[in-house]
């Protein structure tokens, strides 16, 4: 069955971030034969003076498949992992959702979107988790990470939010590639413009920088592109810079 694992607030200013924690957790789950994990996504939540966060207030989601009889083992492993590896002073939270027909996805998505716009509290997260029958637990500090952990699963399910973990080198800055060549990579499903147009396989894209990141749009793994500088020779489209990618 497919599950979604959300984690948040596992770090402090001196420790590796929650993205590293998510990678380590995914690797450990696979190593121990508990689950097969997919691409990890980072979801940006509201940055506000009333919300404690380390640097960016983002949470992580790990989609995975596992046997039905191993869901409780995944939860137990995740709890132990956060308790043993989260940084001092952090407020880690864990959410595990079974992504099936019985899940009220609309309610979960609404919570995730709400967390991007409003200040929420732990009780709201626990109330929804109890109503939906999903696992939600805190593992140190104030436990405020349960809010982001739950929100991450909803935002992943919505299919139109978040950046995938990791950067990819498909060519150096100034070089170009066809969309078909880009989509030959396992980590790329499509190349899409700001207007939502999916580019055809023969379109050329120039690399703005040496690395490229993918985002989750339309439940696919997408390289977002923008129009290249008007009047300049070469491809009509360019990948985004690291600074431009922050809007995702």
DSSP-assigned states of every residue in 137-157: EE-STT-THHHHHHHHHHHHH
What per-residue confidence (pLDDT) applies to 19?
A: 87
pLDDT at 120: 92
Secondary element (H or E) of residue 122: helix 122-132
Domain limits, the chain: 2-163, 166-245
Mean pLDDT by 10 residues, the chain (248 residues): 90 66 96 97 79 69 97 97 81 94 95 93 96 94 91 98 96 97 98 95 97 97 91 83 92
What CA–CA distance (Å, rounded) separates 165 from 216?
11
- CATH of region 2-163, choose from 2.40.128.110, 3.30.70.2200, 1.10.10.10, 3.40.50.11540: 3.30.70.2200
71-85 vs 18-31: helix crossing angle, rounded to 10: 140
Other C-beta atoms closer than 10 Å to the C-beta of 168 total 15
pLDDT reported for residue 144: 87
pLDDT at 15: 57
């Amino acid at each position: 069955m497919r599950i979604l694992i959300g984690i948040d607030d596992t770090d402090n200013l001196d420790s590796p971030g929650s993205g590293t924690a998510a990678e380590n957790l995914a690797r450990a789950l696979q190593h121990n034969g508990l689950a097969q994990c997919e691409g990890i996504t980072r979801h940006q939540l509201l940055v506000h003076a009333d919300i404690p966060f380390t640097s960016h207030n983002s949470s992580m989601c790990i989609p995975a498949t596992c046997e039905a009889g191993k869901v409780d083992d995944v939860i137990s492993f995740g709890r132990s992992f956060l308790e043993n590896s989260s940084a001092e002073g952090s407020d880690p939270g864990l959410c595990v959702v079974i992504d099936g027909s019985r899940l009220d996805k609309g309610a979960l998505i609404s919570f995730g979107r709400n967390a991007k716009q409003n200040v929420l509290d732990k009780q709201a997260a626990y109330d929804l988790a109890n109503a939906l029958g999903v696992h939600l637990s805190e593992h140190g500090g104030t436990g405020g990470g349960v809010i982001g952990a739950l929100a991450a699963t909803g935002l992943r399910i919505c299919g139109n939010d978040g950046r995938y973990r990791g950067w990819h080198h498909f060519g150096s800055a100034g070089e170009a590639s066809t969309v078909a060549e880009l989509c030959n990579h396992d980590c790329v499903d499509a190349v899409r413009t700001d207007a939502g147009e999916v580019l055809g396989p023969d379109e050329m894209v120039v690399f703005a920088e040496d690395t490229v990141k993918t985002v989750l749009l339309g439940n696919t793994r997408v390289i977002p592109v923008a129009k290249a500088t008007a009047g300049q020779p070469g491809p009509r489209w360019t990948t985004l810079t690291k600074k431009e990618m922050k809007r995702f």
